[in-house]
Amino acid sequence: MTPQQLVGIAIRMFSITMVLFSIPYLSGMPHVLRSNGMDDKALVSLMIGVTYLAVALVSWFFPMVISHKLVPKTTFENRFNTRPDEVATVGIAMLGLWKVIDAAPDLVSYLFQTSLRAGSGSIFEALGAEGKADVFFILIELIIALAFLFKAHLIAKFITRPFENHAT
């Protein structure tokens, strides 16, 4: 198995997770919101669910395209009899995917719930100081996760530099 194939499998797992995250936004939540006279919020809930499904479909049908963008190309014969930076690149990319799975739905859910409480007012004002801090830290987590995804090879080179200098 090549490093890209390993990340491709992780991307497929990411896809399944996105489908699972879409379920409440497409099923129970819109019904509850409509029954409380919040038709506009029910539409937002449906749009969130559809967005999760769209991400799931793209990542399910194009895992290797995404994988080749995240992990630099190696020879196909390379089957994890590989350099430390390649293994580290795969690990960092997978860590980035996991953190996106962890933080992005939290941010979406948090902002959606805040929009429900805000009514016709500003979401930003409805957050309050604690809410703004929560959103700030979730955004920091997402930025780090995206850096892990899109700069995995650079980070891996940095992490494995000591190992390259002490190779036997």
Tens digit of each residue's pLDDT (9 = 90 or more) over 7-56: 888 888 888 889 988 988 898 888 888 888 888 888 999 999 999 999 99
- How would you write 102-143 as a 3-class SS string? HHHHHHHHHHHHHHHHHCCCCHHHHHHHHHHHHHHHHHHHHH
What pLDDT, on the 0 to 100 scale, is given for residue 163? 53
Q: Are 60 and 140 in contact (CB under 8 A)?
A: no
The residues spanned by each domain of the chain are 3-159
Q: How far, rounded to the nearest angstrom, does the alpha carbon of residue 2 sit from its chain's CA centroid?
A: 22
Other CB atoms within 10 A of residue 97 CB: 23
What pLDDT, on the 0 to 100 scale, is given for residue 157? 84
Q: What is the mean pLDDT of residues 121-149?
A: 87
pLDDT in tens, 70-120: 887 766 565 556 676 787 788 888 889 888 988 998 899 888 888 888 888
- Comparison of pLDDT for 165 and 161, the residue scoring more: 161
What pLDDT, on the 0 to 100 scale, is given for residue 57? 96
Q: Output the pTM of the full model.
A: 0.62
What pLDDT, on the 0 to 100 scale, is given for residue 164? 58
What pLDDT, on the 0 to 100 scale, is given for residue 50? 97
Please check the confidence at residue 135 and state whether its pLDDT lies above 90.
Answer: no
